[in-house]
Structure 1
Amino acid sequence: MINKGYVLLMARYNAWQNNQIMDIVKEMNEEDLRRDHGAFFGSIMNTLNHILWADTLWMSRFCSDVALPSVPGSESVNYMATIGEWQAARFRMDGRMRIWGETLSNLDLTGEMTWHSGGMNKEFTQPIAMCITHMFNHQTHHRGQVHAMLTSTNKRTPTTDIVFMPEDA
Structure 2
Amino acid sequence: MISAAYCRLMARYNTWQNTSLVTAADGLTHQDRWKDRGAFFRSIAATLNHLYWADALILQRLKGNEHPEDHIEHSLTSPSDWDEFKTLRSRRDEEIEAWAARLLDADLAGMVAWRPGEGSTRVEKPRALCVMQLFNHQTHHRGQIHAMLTAAGTLPGPTDLEMLP
TM-score (norm 1): 0.89
Matching residue of 2:13: 13
Structure 1 segment 1-169 matched on structure 2, within 5 A:
1-63=1-63, 68=68, 72-73=73-74, 76-118=75-117, 122-166=121-165
Distance 2:116 2:54 in 1: 12
Distance 1:115 1:134 in 2: 15
- SS where residue 122 of structure 2 aligns? strand
Distance 2:137 2:111 in 1: 19
Q: Quick one: structure 1 residues 62 and 43, their matched pair in 2 at CA, closer, same or farther if it must change by over 3 Å?
A: same
- SS where residue 126 of structure 1 aligns? strand
Unaligned runs of 5+ in 1: none
> How many angstroms does 1:72 deviate by?
3.3
| Cα pair 1:4 1:105 within 8 Å, conserved | yes
> How many angstroms does 1:119 deviate by?
6.7
> How many angstroms does 1:158 deviate by?
2.2
Distance 1:10 1:92 in 2: 16
Letter aligned with residue 48 of structure 1 = L
> How many angstroms does 1:138 deviate by?
0.4
Distance 1:135 1:58 in 2: 6
> How many angstroms does 1:68 deviate by?
4.4
| Cα pair 1:50 1:77 within 8 Å, conserved | yes
After superposition, the CA RMSD in angstroms is 2.0
| Cα pair 2:36 2:43 within 8 Å, conserved | yes
| Cα pair 1:48 1:146 within 8 Å, conserved | yes
| Cα pair 1:50 1:79 within 8 Å, conserved | no
- SS where residue 135 of structure 1 aligns? helix
**Count of aligned residue pairs for this structure pair:** 163
Distance 1:83 1:63 in 2: 29
When structure 1 is superposed on structure 2, of 82-91 and 113-122 the one drifting more is 113-122
Unaligned runs of 5+ in 2: none
Q: Quick one: structure 1 residues 91 and 64, their matched pair in 2 at CA, closer, same or farther if it must change by over 3 Å?
A: farther
Letter aligned with residue 114 of structure 2 = W
> How many angstroms does 1:157 deviate by?
2.2
Q: Identity across aligned pairs (percent)? A: 38
Letter aligned with residue 27 of structure 2 = E
